[in-house]
Amino acid sequence: MARIPGGTFLMGTEYAEGFPDDGEGPIREVTVAPFLMDRHAVTNRQFQEFVRATRYRTEAEAFRWSYVFWLLVPPYLRVKLQGHGETVLGLEWWFRVEGADWKHPHGPSSNIRKIPELPVVHVTHRDAEAYCAWAGVRLPTEAEWEFAARGGLAQTLYVWGDELMPGGTHMCNIWQGSFPNHNSAEDGYVGPAPVFAFEPNGYGLYNMAGNVWEWCRDWWSTDFHRTGPRDNPTGPPTPTGRRVMKGGSYLCHHSYCNRYRVAARTSNTPDSSTGNLGFRCVRDL
């Protein structure tokens, strides 16, 4: 884990090309106490150790299916599923794949044997909390996550600064090409990248932008933070039905979802799992 010093910072954004309906603003002063944070997202190897020790069964395993991005679905299975109501209305790039879970990220014929250092995916918020309870850690609050992601920089657009590709260098794993049909993979990856890919931020944290979305502890709200606490905020005090997610993923593209920006945010239901959603942990000092 990396030691995050804590302090007061400017959280949020009023970026013109952002998503105001997500509650990205207003920019406000927020204070967080020092804490420790995983340098990278929890990996397949780490999650496997947890499952072996506890015999835990994830919710995707219990449901017997999860969502896989269409280009990562094996061709034989893709042909079988297309046209049979197995996609998400309005988000037809997501296929509902029977047998997809953390051990079989692309469907039942896939496995994690050769990808132990990729981030674990197809984990729900409840799965992430179960791992945390076993490991003696917890999920970060949204404020902690954003403070850590900024790495000591103030109000920059991205984790590393204001330019997406400084000097033409890819700084994170996001979509290149025409979404959702063609990914040129100019950054080297079509799907998730190893957790140590790309340069770390100022606090030594890897992949705080792109790669996979990361669960936060907070319940989701688009307006609670406008009047809520600014000292170590933890989000709405009562459940809202959705949890905060931060960081974007390998599917984010400027044409529809530039949420790889450091202040961007979104949410999902606690029992949701997809092939681009993982987590990292923090520990109190």
Give the CATH number of the domain where residue 88 resides.
Answer: 3.90.1580.10
For residue 86, what pLDDT is reported?
Answer: 73
Q: What is the secondary structure of 182-219 as a DSSP string?
A: EE--TTS-SSPPPTT-S---TTS---SSBSSEEEEEEE
Phi-psi category of residue 144: left, alpha or beta, with phi > 0 → left and psi -120 to 50 → alpha? alpha
For residue 79, what pLDDT is reported?
Answer: 76
Q: What is the mean pLDDT of residues 245-261?
A: 96
For residue 107, what pLDDT is reported?
Answer: 94
For residue 87, what pLDDT is reported?
Answer: 74
For residue 110, what pLDDT is reported?
Answer: 96
State the Cα–Cα distance between residues 10 and 28, nearest whole angstrom. Answer: 5
State the Cα–Cα distance between residues 131 and 136, nearest whole angstrom. Answer: 9
Question: What digits encode the pLDDT tens for the residues 132-158?
Answer: 999 999 999 999 999 999 999 999 999
Q: What is the pTM of this model?
A: 0.96
CB contact burial 124-159 (16+ within 10 A = b; e otherwise)? bbebbbbbbeebebbbbbbbbbbbbbbbebebbbbb
For residue 92, what pLDDT is reported?
Answer: 86
Q: What is the mean pLDDT of residues 249-260?
A: 95
For residue 83, what pLDDT is reported?
Answer: 67
Element (H, E) at 60: helix 59-63
Above 80 in pLDDT, residue 113?
yes
Question: What digits encode the pLDDT tens for the residues 27-58?
Answer: 999 999 999 999 999 999 999 999 999 999 99
Query: How many domains does one find in the chain?
Result: 1
Query: Rounded mean pLDDT of the chain?
Result: 96
Which domain does 217 fall in, by range? Answer: 2-284
**51 three-class SS:** helix
For residue 84, what pLDDT is reported?
Answer: 66
For residue 224, what pLDDT is reported?
Answer: 97
Residue 13: CA count within 13 A, CB half-sphere: 22
For residue 165, what pLDDT is reported?
Answer: 97
Which of 102, 140, 170, 180 is closest to 265 using CA atoms?
140
Above 80 in pLDDT, residue 166?
yes
Q: What is the mean pLDDT of residues 216-242?
A: 97
Longest dimension (CA), the chain: 53
For residue 85, what pLDDT is reported?
Answer: 63
For residue 35, what pLDDT is reported?
Answer: 98
Above 80 in pLDDT, residue 9?
yes
Using the structure block, give the residue that is written with the tokens 């599917």: 251
